[in-house]
Amino acid sequence: MTALGIAPLRLAERVVADPPVVLAPMAGITNTAFRRLCREIMSPQLPPGAAGGLFVSEMITSRALVERNAKTMRLIRFEADETPRSIQLYGVDPRVVGDAVRMIVDDDLADHVDLNFGCPVPKVTRKGGGSALPWRIELFTDIVDAAVRAARGAVPVTVKMRVGIDDDHITYREAGLRAQDAGVAHVALHGRTAQQFYGGQADWSRIADLVDALDVPVLGNGDIWEADDALRMVRETGCAGVVVGRGCLGRPWLFADLAAAFGGRPERTRPSLRAVATTMRRHAQLLADWLGEQHGVTDFRKHVAWYLKGFAVGGELRRGMAMSSSLAELDDHMAQLDLDQPFPQAVLGQPRGRTTGGRAVTLPYGWLDDRASRAVPAGAETEHSGG
């Protein structure tokens, strides 16, 4: 129990989030390097004996895992001290999803499996996957049933989803009840429809409604930009924990703030540019250790703008850092920063990452016509954002 009386999230004996904070799966972001960085930053702020948050992998395509695709096998790498090990799976074929979960259990690849029904990107929804899939409620049920059966009680299975496809096709309540009946350990709900994408404001009242509807724990997701947003979400919705995605982009110290907030402490991290640069360098090094220096630093490029948001850094220097190909090159650019700048207060509480919204959802032809259909769209397995 945290200092605020909020219980840890206990999915299984070896899968505990204390405080009940989950790093949302994000494609190209929540790899082993970023998860390690977030854990390192959160750990000093935890009380003795606390397990820390649950840090979930990038979305893993079930078919690619079953086929032991080389890239996929690299993506599911966990550090020796990373526990619990959490994998998010994407799939639209119950048989393949079941095979993937069975492989995870038999090969001891992870301690927890999360199922993705939240991704809103067209590449996924046009095949009926992600946030489009719960509309086909029987197919959704078949997938969740297959995953839970394949887990055989060895690992907990959870579900992450959105409110629905759009305001005319709301799915979260029925899908949540079906997932609960199948035996999932918790349900996480992003308070937006697929049509909203990442725009507008997340509707936390939907999270509160699902809390009232289900007996299993419900986690809330959407618009947690600061640690105090997480506490407010718990107060307003009654959710058992929070899932944090875009709020930690370029701000892995948000997990230190979350540990402090759930511990009832008022301190919040407001790093100077010097401290931010140290974190950036550590992040780049972890990526280099994982992918090799050139690929690791190249992968780090997308993080530069997020880390530097709000700081006075010239465009040429920003571009130089975002085009670095080696740690030495990155160091040369960092040496030109005015490291004494204080944290830019104006960016607090502001959205980060994608903010686009109000787009029509791309769906397979006739997808909305028959909710009871169990047909799996041809070629539906794909690799993309976890949503």
Q: How far apart are CA 284 and CA 303, in angstroms?
A: 9
Count each helix (H run) and each strand (E run) in the chain, helices first: 15, 12
Q: Which residues contact 332 (CB under 8 A, 6 or more apart)?
A: none
Residue tagged active-site, from 38, 119, 239, 248 = 119
With tokens 């936390």, the residue in question is 204
The question of whether 239 is a catalytic residue gets the answer: no
| DSSP for 215-255, written as a single string | SS-EEEES---SHHHHHHHHHHH--SEEEE-GGGTT-TTHH
Identify whether the C-beta of residue 297 lies closer than 8 Å to the C-beta of residue 282.
no
Q: For residue 65, give both structure tokens.
A: 């895992």
Q: For residue 274, give both structure tokens.
A: 């010097």
Element (H, E) at 116: strand 112-117
User: Helices 32-42 & 254-262, crossing angle to 10 degrees?
Assistant: 40
Identify whether the C-beta of residue 131 lies closer than 8 Å to the C-beta of residue 119.
yes
Q: Strand 157-162 to strand 112-117: parallel, antiparallel, or no bridges (unpaired)?
A: parallel
Q: How far apart are CA 367 and CA 357, in angstroms?
A: 22
Active site residues: 119
